[in-house]
Amino acid sequence: MNHPLGLFLAITFTVVNTFAQQPSAAAPLNSRIDSYLSAGSENGFSGAIAVVKNGETIINKGYGLANKDTQTANTPNTIFDIGSNTKQFTATAILKLAEQGKLNLDDPVSKYFKNLPADKQNITIHQLLTHTAGLPDAIGNDFDEITREEFFKQLFATELLHEPGTKYSYSNIGYSVLGRIIEITSEQPYEAFLNQYLFTPAGMKQTGYLLPDWDTTKLAHGYNRNVLETGSPVTRYRASGDISWHLNANGGINASQKDLLLWYKALKGNTILTPESFKKLTTPYISAPEGNYSYGYGWVVRTTNENTLRISHNGSNGTFSHTMIWYPEEDLYIVYATNANSSRVEGLGYEVEKMVLDDSYVPAPIKNNVYAFTIDYIKQYPADHRDELFSLLREEYPEEFSNSSLLNTIGNFLLGRDQHIDWALELFKKNVEIYPQDGNLWDSLGDGYKSNNMTEEAISSYKKAIELGYTTSQSKLNELVSDR
């Protein structure tokens, strides 16, 4: 049985509001953005946005809730996980060390790590910064426990995806290597170096992993798809007392919107880096395979149709999503965060960007995501309304309803919570009607029958799952047969 959302801890419900006020192209920019996001918050959007142009703050505001239990609202001071936007801090720290004369960007990693395999010895810092080293994306999950020694042993034992320097291939672990190089050259822990040379000079007091004196009342709790509560990553860091090297230096830093405005001002005013180093940070070095963007050092770099520079980056862990967009020449900066990520809201920073750049642009209304919509419907109606729900899903969410994941995920969630198990069974039944050759779905159907005390039907479903090659069902079948 597949459990893509099997760690659900809390459940909340929102209803699509099709009557919320939408922005008018004739309205002032501030009110257009605010109306758009305020209407979205009626449909589950939760997060914050800041837009600064030519030194003027167009908008700097939070929406929805940072913590549903305490009804704490999101504000510009709310602290969000910024995901892979951590990489620009790592890249900036490397350039700071280069300014200090402690490393060169063309240094091979063999200068910092001993006994490397031959194919890794000549990988350079520049290649790590630009995702051209050929290292894979990851070797584990963000919070997997692993010693530093074992992490780098496994990392350098991986097979390269390509010869270093020849192609772009996004690599989180490449930035973890950079984090360790920062520690070796500075003789400080990664976060301590960032705090001393980046965050403190910029005035950023609520940015980091463990070092800040966190205002815990401002920590955003995560709500995956606005359904699964995951808490704050800072709480998790504190509980473990350390940051896994699967995450360290490549993601997972938390920051307030207020601090990221200070970060922009510090980079813009050359408080952190010299103009020469900033140019290196934002130079497009190599094109991505898609061909429509290049990568600098911790920033995605594009040249606009007007031949000006746009630098940006996204970060996401599935629950939090974060976007930073900067046009240095036009002096336009946008920072966007959500603590209730879904496909419906992950790209809202770019919708706001279009609103800023085009006075006539009116974005489509923000729609409730399909998981929250479905669970809300299930809470309100009995299971004999199954067909009505499916009709609504086909009409309102045709793309999300086009594969088996949606119904299986929600059904498994309901079983895991021991809630609406009659609905879970109906979802599983519908899934095997649509996808009769998927053994995993028959296994889920068996679980649904079992939870509803329908033993013979469960046995039949598990047998069908095994017949279709889903051998995990065998132990469940054996248990039911032995209990007869």
Domains of the chain: 80-357 (3.40.710.10), 404-482 (1.25.40.10)
pLDDT confidence of residue 14:
35
**Contact in structure between 224 and 318 (CB atoms under 8 Å):** yes
pLDDT confidence of residue 176:
98
- Which of left, alpha, beta for 41 (phi over 0: left; psi -120 to 50: alpha)? alpha
Instruction: Quote the CA–CA distance of 231 and 80 in Å, as a whole number.
Output: 11
Over the chain (484 residues), what is each successive 10-residue block's mean pLDDT? Answer: 34 37 68 97 95 96 97 98 98 98 98 96 98 96 94 96 96 98 98 98 98 97 91 95 96 97 97 97 88 90 86 95 96 97 93 95 93 92 95 91 91 92 96 96 96 95 96 93 79
Dihedral, CA atoms, 263, 267, 268, 270, nearest 10 degrees? Answer: 130
Instruction: Quote the CA–CA distance of 155 and 138 in Å, as a whole number.
Output: 8
Amino acid of residue 173: I
Within 10 angstroms of residue 375's Cβ, the number of other Cβ atoms is 24
SS3 state of residue 369: coil
| Residue spans of beta strands (DSSP E) within 275-352 | 286-287, 294-295, 300-303, 309-316, 321-327, 332-338
Order of strands, sheet of 207-208, starting from the edge strand that comes earlier in the sequence: 79-81, 254-256, 207-208
